[in-house]
Amino acid sequence: MKICLINTYKGGGAGIACRRLQAALNKHGATAQLLTREEAGKKWPFYAERLSFLPYEKDKSVRFAFSLANFGSDISKHPAVQEADIIHLHWVNQGFLSLQNIRTLGQLGKPIVWTLHDMWAFTGGCHYSRGCDHFQQTCGDCDYLRRPGPLDLSHHILGRKARLLPQNIQYVTCSRWLGEVAQSSTLLQDAAVLSIPNPIDTEAFKPLEGPTRRQVREALGIRPGKAALLFVAMKISETRKGFAFLQKALHALKTRHPELDLDIMVLGKAEAGMAEALPYPTRLLGLLTDAQAIANAYAAADLFVIPSLEDNLPNTVMESLACGTPVAGFNTGGIPEMVEDGVQGLIAPQGDAWALEKAIFGILTQENPEKMRQAARLKVETHYSEAVIAGRYMDLYRSLL
């Protein structure tokens, strides 16, 4: 069985998830090829997309949070698409596929699977709705736009999606949360929507024990005998990743429990002054690309904190659990599906920095931390391993042929 996986980039959250699925499928009976915008060979649609949105955008903070899908590349004649038994779309925005390009793929007569990594497929342009439910009607009055109104750009884009998106798409969401939101939308309320998580290589991401873990912790600058907390985001300053709430929670922890001393690791692109904003010794690890170095950071930590305000099924949570590291996070998106409160970590109400502080303290001071570490690893082995997820997708593919 030949599968053509289609994603704009090889990197980023969706790109990483897509490449992990490719590896899993290739290990378990399929031939999966990844087609990205780079292989398509056209860069101008990206700039055309951005320029076409400029007259409408509220401000530059929403520039990459809203997509029109007016411009893209016709990949219907690409050999990887022509040879495929299944066309499997992932995240295809920022000038890779336009709505018309997706319609053209549908006209090939091949089964199409579309794994949704955010809300864009069923909204009037936003990737996350920030609590807005207008996608459940006809969109309009969009907070991302400079001049919102009942018949604004979001209303027209939702109408174009209704006209252009093929009817024969099998939608897949990485989290049950996103599946429920998708089926509450005008566009997908009658569509077939399944929930299949992303996979992870449990040999690449695994716990470290004994002397090896001590050596890795020492190399990362973790002081002997101190607890280590990890925060990860591609871009730390991105509002929806919640760094400000981590900052508030740690300052509260320092005030309420001055006897507790921590080392903080921050993985991702950070701006000047971010380390100084935290009340404990902080090491900025930067944007790591080596999988072993990333896995070591998770395995060396005693706790991973994810205060995201918007997220689907974060790769970061899966990576932490695979390394046996408990998670403290907000009740956001698919996070509670991954982390059962009190089992693999502790969950706080979204946006409640004080509750997050209590979750951090609770995990760091629990009587039997090994129990939570083992539960974290077991969750990944039983729910997110390559064999489990590849098997679920292969069953889906076969059902469509």
| pLDDT > 90: percent of the chain | 95
The string of pLDDT tens digits covering residues 321-354 is: 999 999 999 999 999 999 999 999 999 999 999 9
- Backbone angles phi and psi of 200, in degrees to 5: -145, 145
CB 200 within 8 A of CB 385: yes
Residue-level pLDDT at 220: 96
The string of pLDDT tens digits covering residues 239-295 is: 999 999 999 999 999 999 999 999 999 999 998 888 999 999 999 999 998 999 999
Q: Which residues, at least 6 apart from 128, have a Cβ–Cβ distance to it below 8 Å?
A: 65, 118, 119, 240, 310
Give the DSSP letter of residue 260.
Answer: -
CB 40 within 8 A of CB 73: yes
Residue 160 has pLDDT above 90, yes or no: yes
Edge to edge, the sheet with strand 345-348 lists: 282-286, 262-269, 227-235, 303-306, 327-330, 345-348
The string of pLDDT tens digits covering residues 125-155 is: 999 999 999 999 999 999 999 999 999 999 9
Task: Count CA atoms closer than 13 A to 298's CA, side-chain side.
Answer: 29
CB 124 within 8 A of CB 153: yes
The string of pLDDT tens digits covering residues 38-67 is: 988 788 999 999 999 999 999 999 999 999
**Whose CA is closest to 125, among 32, 57, 35?**
57
Residue-level pLDDT at 245: 97
- Return the residue matching tokens 């604004």: 152
Residue 72 has pLDDT above 90, yes or no: yes
Distance between CA 396 and CA 69 in Å, rounded? 27
Which residues are registered as beta bridge partners of 346? 328
Residue-level pLDDT at 39: 86
Distance between CA 380 and CA 199 in Å, rounded? 9
Residue-level pLDDT at 40: 81
Mean pLDDT of the chain: 96
Residue-level pLDDT at 86: 98
| Angle ∠(251,221,315) on CA atoms, nearest 5 | 70
CA 136 from chain centre, in angstroms, equals: 23
SS3 101: helix
Domains assigned to the chain: 2-199+385-400 (3.40.50.2000), 210-383 (3.40.50.2000)
CA 24 from chain centre, in angstroms, equals: 18
Average pLDDT over residues 162-185: 96
Give the DSSP letter of residue 298.
Answer: H
The string of pLDDT tens digits covering residues 7-32 is: 999 999 999 999 999 999 999 999 99
Q: Is 362 exposed, middle or buried (0-12, 13-18, 19+ CB in 10 A)?
A: middle
End-to-end, the C-alpha distance of the chain in Å comes to: 10
Residue-level pLDDT at 296: 97
Residue-level pLDDT at 41: 75
DSSP-derived pairing of the beta strands 227-235 and 282-286: unpaired
Residue-level pLDDT at 192: 87
Residue-level pLDDT at 259: 94
| pLDDT > 70: percent of the chain | 100
Residue 368 has pLDDT above 90, yes or no: yes
CA distances from residue 126 to 63, 129, 143, 144, 364 in whole angstroms, order as listed: 10, 6, 10, 8, 37
